[in-house]
Amino acid sequence: METIKSDYLDEKLDQVRAKDFLKYRSGDLPTWCPGCGYFGIMDALYKACRELELKHEDICTVSGIGCSGRTPIFINSYGFHTLHGRSIPVATGLKLAREDLTVFAVAGDGDALGIGGGHLPHVARKNIDITFLLFDNSIYGLTKGQSSSTTPHEMKTNSHPVGNPDTPLNPIKLALAYGASFVARGYAGDPEGMKTIIKQGIQYKGFSFIQILTPCVTFDKTNRTWKNLKENVYNLTLHTQADNMETAMRAAENEPFGVGLFFQDKERLSYQDILRNLNS
Amino acid sequence: MKDINLVIEICGSAGEGTISAGEILSRFMSAQGYEIMSFDSYPAEIRGFGKCVAHTRISSDPIYSPGKLADVLIALNDIHSISQLSALKNKGILIYDSQPARPHEEDKSVLGWVDPGVISYGIPLTMLAQRAAGSARGRNMVGLGAIAAIFHMDKDGFTASIENRYAKKKKIVIDSNVNSFLEGFEWAGKHIEKIDSFSFEGVTMPLQKEKLIINGNQLVARAALDANLKFYAGYPITPATKIMEILSKELPGHGGTLLQTEDEIAAIGAVVGAGFGGIRAMTATSGPGFALMTEFTGLSVMAEVPAVIINSQRGGPSTGIPTKTEQSDFNAALSGGTGDCPRVVLAPTDTFSCYQATVLALYLAEKYQTLVVVLLDFFLSNSIRNIDIPEKPSESLLNANIAPLPEELENYQRYKITETGISPRAIPGTPGGIFFSTGLEHDEYGRPNYSDKGHLKMTEKRYKKYAGVLTEAPIPQISEFEGEMADIGVISWGSSAGAAREAVMLARKEGIKASSFSSMMLSPFPEKELIDFSDKCKKILVPELNYGGQFANFATHIIKRPLERLNFITGRPMASEDILEKMREM
Amino acid sequence: MPSYDHYVILGNGPAGNNAASFLRENDKDAKITIISDENIPFYYKPGLTRYITGDLSASELIVESLPNYREKNIRLRLGQIVDKIDPEQKIVFLRHKEKVHYTKLVIASGSRARVLPSMRGYAQCLKHITTYNEVLEFKDQIQAANDFFIFGGDLVGFKFIKMLGKMGKKVTLLIYPNAFWPFILTHEMQATIVSNLEKRGSEIIVGDDIHTIIEKENAYMVKTVKGMEKKVDMVFSFNGLIPTVEFAKGSGLDIDHGILVNETMQTNLPDIYACGSCAQIYNPVINSYTTSIGWPNAVVQGEVTAMNLLGDHKVIESVGRKYFDLEGVRIKTTWWEDIEESSSI
C-alpha cells in the first residue's frame, strides 16, 4: 500500500515520537479533521495505558460507527470496529469471554445514546468490567452535521435547519440513573485530567462510564466550540470518595460542566465476580 | 412377531398432568424397547386453562415422523378434547371420563362429538382418582392405567416408570400416582368389555442399549457443552428458550458463562464479541429474534468472527405463531442481511442430528471464521425421541482454530488471502498478533480499503470457504433406488425429511417407485449430489412447511426443471400420510 | 323473523331424517340435531337382508353420508343413548351425561325386535335382523351355517326365509300366528303361507311352541313343547316389532305401546312430536290409536311432523305402499285397516 506523506505529517510524527507513549499508537494516522478534540482523547488514552504499563496484546478496543468508531485503528492494541451502536454488547461478550483483557468500549453520542441507547442501562446494571468512553461532541460528524441525542435544544443543524426541536439527554445523569457504578467526565482540552480519569476507570473493577466533552470543529461552529467549552468547564471538587449519588446528580446538572469523578461505588462487585459468588 | 405402531394422544387442560402423563408413557415404552417419538403442544399463554396435547408414537420399527392421526385419545378434559377429535383416526379409540361431577352442558361432552367407528371406553377417571388418592389430580394416571389394562401393557413396568418419574418427590406423591394408575388398571380390566383388537400381549422387544430420552433443544444444549461451548448469550423466545435455560444451569460447571441480554441484538453482539475473544460462543432464537440478529450476520462474515445462531423456527412472519411449527425461515437463514454474505446454514433432519448439527456448527464457525446458522423448528425443538447416546465429538472437532505460525506473526496479516479462504487467526492476548477488524471492506491487514479490486479479492476469499465447508458436510441422505430410475424423487429438508423418507417407504409398498433426498447442509448446498439425484427421477416433489415454497424455489435453481410442491402451514409437523397422498396424485 | 329453534330429533331412521331435511329446507337458521343410539349414518334398514346375502354392500346401505349432514348443517349424534326427557326444562338427557336443550322435540326412535315374554330366558341364543350392528355381528356366521331354526314369522322373517332358501340353507320354521304383531294372521292366511313355504323345502311347524334352547359347541338344540328336537346352527326370532320408548317413560308423555299422538303427530305435551313406528297415531274412524310400520309410512310421517312443527296443520293420512306380498298373501301395513279387513274376513 502506498502511503502519502507530507512534510506536515512528518513533522507531526517526529513530535509524537518524541513522547514515550508513542508505542501505544498504531502505525496508522488518524483521519479526523485537524483540530478535532479526539486527538486529545487519544493522547490521554495512550498515556493512561503507558502509566498502567498495560501490554498491547492484552488491550482490546471495541468501537461502533461514527468518527469515534475509528479509534481502534489508531491504538496499538487488538481492535474491533463493529456496528453502529453495538460496541457495548460486543465489548460485553469479549470481556466475559476474556477476563484477562483490558477492554475499552468506545462510542460517540449518536452511537451510545441514540442507536445504541438501549444497551447502556444493561451494561451499567450488570456492571460488566469494561471502560466505556463516550466521545460526546453533541453532533453527528461522520454523516456531516445532523442533530444527535446531546445536541442542545434549538441548535441549528443540517437535520434541523431551523433549530433542534428535541431536548438533549444528560449522559451523566443517565448513567447515574442506570446504576453505573463509576461515572466520570473528561474534557478533550485537558488530556492530563482525562488520563487520570481513564486510569481510574481502567482500574475500577466494573463498568466505568466516562463522558468526554469534545468539540466537532467542522460541524459545530456555535455550541460546543473549543472556546465555549474552555469557558464552561470546571474541575469538580466533590467529596474525594465521590460516593454520594445525590451530590453527583446535582453536580451533573447542565452547564457549566463539572469535570472529574462524579460517582463511584467501590463496594459493588463486577458481573464476573457476582457470577463467581453465585456459582460457588 | 406382530408389529406395534400406535399413536396415543392425551388431551387435557394445562395443569391436569397431560404432559407428564405423556412423558411417563414415552419413558415406559422406551424402557420396553420401543421406538418413541412424542410431541407436546401447549398454550402460548402462561399456565392456566389452555389446551395441552401429549402426542406419542410408539413403534417396534424405526420412526421417521410423528404420525398424523392418533389411534387412541385419552380425554382428560372434554372441551379441549372435542377439538382434538379431528386428529383421531376414524376407527380410533376414545378414553373419556364417564362420570363427570355433573352433566355436561350441551355440546360440551367429548362423547357428543365422536364419529361413528370410534370405539369409546368410558372410565370414571375422576371417581377412581378420588378413590385412589383422595383428589382428582391423579386422573391422568387413571387414564394410563386404563389403557394399560385395555391394551395389555406390562403393569409392573408401567408402575416402575411412574415411580421413576416421581423419584425425587415425596413418597405420598409417588404413592398417589401409582395408586391412581393401579385403580385405573384394575377398574378397566374388570369393567371394560374390549371390542378393539389392539394388544401388546405377547410382544417382547429385544433388550436395547441405554437410550437417551431427549428433545432437540436438550440435545442442542448437550451437544454445545460437549463441543466446548464457553459462552452463550440469549434472550428468551419460544421455542428456543429451553436451550438457554439448560445452559444457564450447565455452562458454569463447564467453565463457561451465560449472559441473558436486553435483546437479541445484544445477544448476537456478545456472541460475536466472545468469538472475537477466541472462545466458542453461540445464541439461540426464533424468527423475531433472528430478524434482529440479522444486523450482526454481516459483521460476523465480513470481520470473519465465528458465531453460531440456532434458529428454532415457528410460525411467521413477525411475531407469528409462537407455538406452532413451520419451516419458513429458510430464506432468512440463507440470505437474511445485506451484501454478498456467504454463511453456513445447517438444518438437522431429526432429533438425533440436532446433536451433530450443533457440534458441526461450532466447529465450522471456529475453523472457517464465519457465521453458522442452525435451523431447528418448533417440532424438532420439542419433540422427544429415545435415541442412542451420541458419541462425543473427536478432538479434531473441538480445536479448530487455525492459529498463525510464529513466522506469520512477523508482519501479521489477519486477512491474508489463502487457497482455502481461511486466514490464520490470532486470538487477542497473542503477542505480535495485534490486528484490527472491521465491518468495513478491508485489506489483508484489516485496514479499511474500498478499492474495487480489493473488494472483489476479499469477497472471493470469503466465498472460497464454501468449498472447504462442503468437503466437511455430512453426505446427503438418499434412499436407495429400486432400479435405475425413480418415478418420484422427494427432496426435503429439516424436520420434514423424516416424513418424506417414511412416505417413500410407504409409496414403495404401493408399487410407486420413489426415492428421497435430504441434506443437513443447506448452505453451501451439495448441488452436484442433488442434480445427480434429480437426473434419476422422473418427477420431483418438494414438501415443506411454508406457503411460498422457499426451498422448492431454491432447488429449482439448482436442478433447473419444474417440480411439484406440497406446502402446509397448519402448524403441525409434516405427515408422511400427506406426502404419500400427493405422490399418489402425481 | 330469524328462528332460533333447536329441533332435536330422536332417531336416525326415515321418519327422523325426513323431518330433519324438511325442517332444514324451510328453516335455514334453526339448529337441528339428530340423536341415534346406532353407530352408523342413516341407512336403509329393509336392505339388511340383501346386505346379508351380499347383494348390497355396507356403503350401498347408507342413505345419507356424514358429509351430507355437515353440508345441511344438521348435527348428527351417533351412538348416543337417550336416558330421559325433561319436558318441563325441555332437556334431553344423554347416557354419557350431557344435556341437550330443545325448543321442539321429535321422537322418531323407531322400534325393535319383540322378544316374547316366554322367550326372555333364551334371549342370548336368539338373533334378530333389526339393526346393522346386530347383522354385522353374525353376517359371516350365516354364510358358514347350514341349519336354521326360525320361530315366529313376520314380514322381515319371511324375507329372510326366502333368502336363506336361495342360499341353499335348511330352514325350520315354527310359525306363530301372532308373530305379525300388531297384525294377526288368520288361519287361511297361515295355511297359504305354509303351503308356499313347504313347496320351497322349508320345514314348517304349526301349533307347537319352544320348550327349551340349549347352546352346545357352537350349535343349538331346540326342543318344542310337543317333544320335537332339532339341532341347528342358528336360531332366529321374528315376532314383530315393539316401539322403542323406554326413555320417554316417566316424562309425562302418554304412552301405550308407542307414544300416543294426534292426527297432526303431536303428543300430549307441548312442543313434543312423535312419528314413525314408535308412534301410535289417533284414528278418528275407529276412535283408537294405531301403529304403522314400513319405510314409506315413516317417510310421510316425518314430513307431516315437520310441516306441523313449522306451523302448518297437516293431518296424517296413511299413504304410500300399503300392501306387502307375503307368500301369496297380501297384508296391509297399517293396523287399523288390517283390523277392519280382518274383522270383515
> With contacts defined as CB-CB under 8 Å, which chain A residues touch B303?
80, 82
**What is the largest distance, in Å, between two alpha-carbon atoms of chain B?**
86
The angle subtended at Cα C269 by Cα C266 and Cα C271, nearest 5°, is 65
Q: Is residue C329 part of a domain?
A: no
Q: Environment class of residue B286 by beta-carbon count within 10 Å: exposed (0-12), middle (13-18) or buried (19+)?
A: buried
Q: Does any domain span residue C193?
A: yes
Cα–Cα separations (whole angstroms), residue B241 to B216, B220, B286, C59: 12, 12, 9, 51
C263 and C155 inside one domain: no
* A123 contacts A132 by C-beta, under 8 angstroms: yes
Q: Which residue in A164, A77, A70 sits closest to A111, CA to CA?
A: A70
Q: Is the pLDDT of residue A213 over 70?
A: yes
**Residue C202 located in a structural domain:** yes
With the CA atoms of C265, C267, C268 and C271 taken in that order, what torsion angle do they form, in degrees rounded to the nearest 10? -100
What pLDDT sits at residue C343? 31
Residues in C closer than 8 angstroms to B106, CB to CB, are 98-101
Q: Can you tell me whether residue C66 is helix, strand or coil?
A: helix
Q: How confident is the model at residue C339 (pLDDT cuts 50, 70, 90)?
A: very low
Does an interface of 3+ CB pairs under 8 Å exist between B and A?
yes
Is residue B14's pLDDT more than 90? no
Lowest-pLDDT range of A36-40, B60-64, C118-122: C118-122
Predicted confidence (pLDDT) at residue B581 exceeds the cutoff of 70 = yes
How many other CB atoms sit within 10 Å of the CB of residue C60? 13
Give residue C162's pLDDT band: very low, low, confident or very high (50, 70, 90).
confident
Peptide bond into B390 cis (omega under 30): no
Lowest-pLDDT range, B294-298, C2-6, C208-212?
C2-6
Q: Which residues of C touch B99 (CB under 8 A)?
A: 97
Q: Is residue C257 in some structural domain?
A: yes
| pLDDT tens sequence across B391-421 | 999 999 999 999 999 999 999 999 999 999 9
Q: What's the CA gap between C326 and C185, in Å, rounded?
A: 11
Determine the 3-state secondary structure of C215 from DSSP.
strand
Query: What is the per-residue pLDDT across B124-157, written as a single tens digit (0 to 9) for each?
Result: 999 999 999 999 899 999 999 999 999 999 999 9
Measure Cα distances from B527 to B475, B522, B532 in Å.
12, 10, 9
B365 backbone dihedrals φ, ψ, rounded to 5°: -60, -45
Which residues in C lie closer than 8 A to residue B104 (C-beta atoms)? 96-99
Specify whether C217 is located in the same domain as C119.
Answer: yes
| The residue to which cell 318441563 is assigned | C88
Minimum mean pLDDT among B90-94, B257-261, C277-281, C332-336: which range? C332-336
Q: Where are the alpha helices (DSSP H) in B210-308?
A: 216-226, 241-250, 264-276, 287-302
| Last-in-domain residue among C197, C216, C240 | C240
Query: Tell me, what amino acid is at B236?
Result: P
Percent of chain A with pLDDT over 90: 83
The DSSP string of B345-400 is: EE--SSHHHHHHHHHHHHHHHHHHTSEEEEEEEHHHHH-EEEEEPPPPPPHHHH--
State the virtual CA torsion across A80, A81, A83, A87 in degrees, nearest 10: 60
**Mean pLDDT throughout B542-547?**
98
- C98 Cβ under 8 Å from any chain B Cβ: yes
Q: Does B409 touch chain A (CB under 8 A)?
A: no
For residue B100, the model assigns a pLDDT of 84
Nearest-by-CA chain A residue for B275: A94
Q: Which residue has the higher pLDDT, A70 or C218?
A: A70
User: Does residue C322 form part of some domain?
Assistant: no
What confidence score (pLDDT) does residue A37 get? 95
Chains touching chain C at 3 or more Cβ pairs under 8 angstroms? B
Residues C105 and C139 in one domain: no
| Touch of C by A (3+ CB pairs closer than 8 Å) | no
In terms of domains, do C235 and C269 share one?
A: no
Q: What pLDDT is stored for residue C344 in this prediction?
A: 29
Q: What percent of chain C has pLDDT over 90?
A: 47
Tell me the three cell numbers of residue A203.
482500574
Cell 433447473 maps to which residue? B560
pLDDT in tens, B37-93: 999 887 665 555 688 999 999 999 999 999 999 999 999 999 999 999 999 999 999
Using the structure block, give the residue that is written with the C-alpha cell 300366528: C177
Q: What is the rounded (10 degree) CA torsion for B428, B430, B435, B438?
A: -20
b/e for A29-52, b at 16 or more Cβ within 10 A? bbebeeebbbbbbbbbbbbbbbee
pLDDT of amino acid B549: 98
Of B428, B439, B449, the CB nearest to A101: B428
Looking at the structure, do residues C297 and C236 belong to the same domain, yes or no?
no
Out of B42-46, C102-106, C165-169, C322-326, the most confident range is C102-106
State the pLDDT at residue C182. 59
- What value does the mean pLDDT take over residues B499-521? 96
Residue C139 in domain: yes
Q: What pLDDT digit, counting tens, does each position of B511-534 carry?
A: 999 999 999 999 999 999 999 999
User: Average pLDDT, stretch A95-111?
Assistant: 97
Q: What is the pLDDT of residue A105?
A: 98
Peptide bond into A256 cis (omega under 30): yes
Confidence of residue A269 (pLDDT cuts 50, 70, 90): very high
pLDDT interval class at C117 (50, 70, 90): confident
Mutate to test the interface with B, among A75, A82, A129 (most CBs of B within 10 A): A82
> What's the number of domains chain C is made of?
2
Instruction: Indicate whether this complex's ipTM tops 0.90.
Output: yes
Facing B104 at nearest CB: one of C39, C41, C97: C97
Give residue for cell 431454491: B554
Q: Look at residue B1 in the predicted model and tell me its pLDDT.
A: 58
Domain annotation covers residue C330: no
In chain C, pLDDT over 70 holds for what percent of residues?
Answer: 89
Angle between helices A38-51 and A191-203 (to 10 degrees): 50
> What pLDDT score does C335 carry?
43
pLDDT attached to residue C223: 92
For residues C236 and C251, membership in a common domain is answered with no
Q: Residue C323 pLDDT more than 60?
A: no
Looking at residue A150, the DSSP 8-state letter turns out to be T
Average pLDDT over residues C79-102: 95
Choose among B252, B265, B431: nearest Cβ to A89. Answer: B265
Contact B284, B309 (CB under 8 A): yes
pLDDT of residue C337: 41
| Residue B116: closest C-alpha in chain C | C39
DSSP code, position B315:
B
User: How far is residue A99's CA from residue B430's CA, in Å, rounded to a whole number?
Assistant: 15
Integer CA distances (angstroms), C80 to C48, C73, C234, in order: 22, 19, 30
Q: Show which subunits contact B, needing at least 3 CB pairs below 8 angstroms.
A: A, C
Q: Which residues pair with C281 in a beta bridge?
A: C261, C290
Q: Are A221 and A156 in contact (CB under 8 A)?
A: no
- If DSSP codes are grouped into helix, strand and coil, which group holds residue A70? helix
Q: State pLDDT tens for residues C15-70.
A: 999 999 999 999 999 999 999 999 889 999 888 988 988 888 999 999 988 889 99
The whole-angstrom distance between B230's CA and the closest CA on chain A is: 8
Kindly report the number of other CB atoms within 10 A of residue B224's CB atom: 30
Does C296 reside within a domain? yes
Q: C180 and C293 share a domain?
A: no
Residue of A173, A268, A220 lying closest to A36 (CA atoms): A220
Distance CA A183, CA A261 (A): 6
Residue B123 forms contact with A (CB below 8 Å): no
Residue C341 has pLDDT above 70, yes or no: no
Residue C203 confidence (pLDDT): 87
Q: Are C119 and C184 contained in the same domain?
A: yes
- Radius of gyration over every alpha carbon of chain A, rounded to an integer in angstroms: 18
What is the reported pLDDT for A21? 62
Q: What is the mean pLDDT of chain B?
A: 95
pLDDT of residue C95: 92
Q: Quick check: bond before B448 cis, omega within 30?
A: no
Given this model, what pLDDT does residue C336 score?
38
The residue from C216, C240, C264 where one domain ends is C240
Position C193 scores a pLDDT of 80
Same domain, C155 and C230: yes
Please indicate, yes or no, whether residues C34 and C82 belong to a single structural domain of this protein: yes
Rounded CA separation B301/B295 (Å): 11
Q: What is the pLDDT of residues B330-350, one digit of tens each?
A: 999 999 999 999 999 999 999
Q: In what order do the strands lie in the sheet with C229-232?
A: C210-216, C219-224, C229-232
User: Looking at per-residue confidence, does C302 or C327 come out higher?
Assistant: C302
C-alpha dihedral (A132, A135, A138, A144), degrees to nearest 10:
-130
The set of cell numbers assigned to B548 is 411460498
pLDDT digits (tens, 9 = 90+) for B195-234: 999 999 988 888 778 899 999 999 999 999 999 999 999 9
Q: Which domain holds residue C228?
A: 114-240
pLDDT at residue number C338: 39
Q: How confident is the model at residue C332 (pLDDT cuts 50, 70, 90)?
A: low
- Judge if C149 and C172 occupy the same domain: yes
Whichever domain contains C159, its CATH number is: 3.50.50.60
Query: Within this chain, do residues C84 and C105 fall inside the same structural domain, yes or no?
Result: yes
Residue B259 has a pLDDT of: 98
Closest residue in chain B to residue A74, using alpha carbons only: B436
